[in-house]
Structure 1
């Protein structure tokens, strides 16, 4: 199970034993006129860190992330790639 700490929040690609799951979390960087492709995973994690801390958690478990393309934005000649991430806000002791 891969894990990494980022700004005080632990991101884990799995669900460790003993964690307390609070609720689901999902976010993406999809600004219409911004260059989302030039953003990084850290930018997505920055958004998630704020939500996790405000929810009283200290971790994101079952963490999944990646990039995908937006057909409609690419038709307009805009940056059609966006970052996304999802998981579960949790407390790990």
Structure 2
């Protein structure tokens, strides 16, 4: 008998987006959608291992694949506008 799928809460973001936090968002959305990882991977057109890497915040996944997963799950990724020549922490 398969273990029941427990929907995870949507993570809270208080700082910069990290691979680990993005992975938490992906996993939460997948579980809230009632999808097991193998079913989600099949629906999204990616390998189960690839989806697992994304959910764990591991590197080595192509940007196009990440965007495919985000779009497929209905997760929006927003780039905030900046002012040119503003006070940045960049050196």
Asked if these proteins are the same fold (TM beyond 0.5), I'd say no
TM-score by length of 2: 0.27
Q: Which has the higher contact order (CA 8 A, sep 6+)?
A: 1
Bigger Rg, which one? 2
TM-score by length of 1: 0.27
Q: Point out the structure with the larger strand share.
A: 1
Q: Point out the structure with the larger helix share.
A: 2
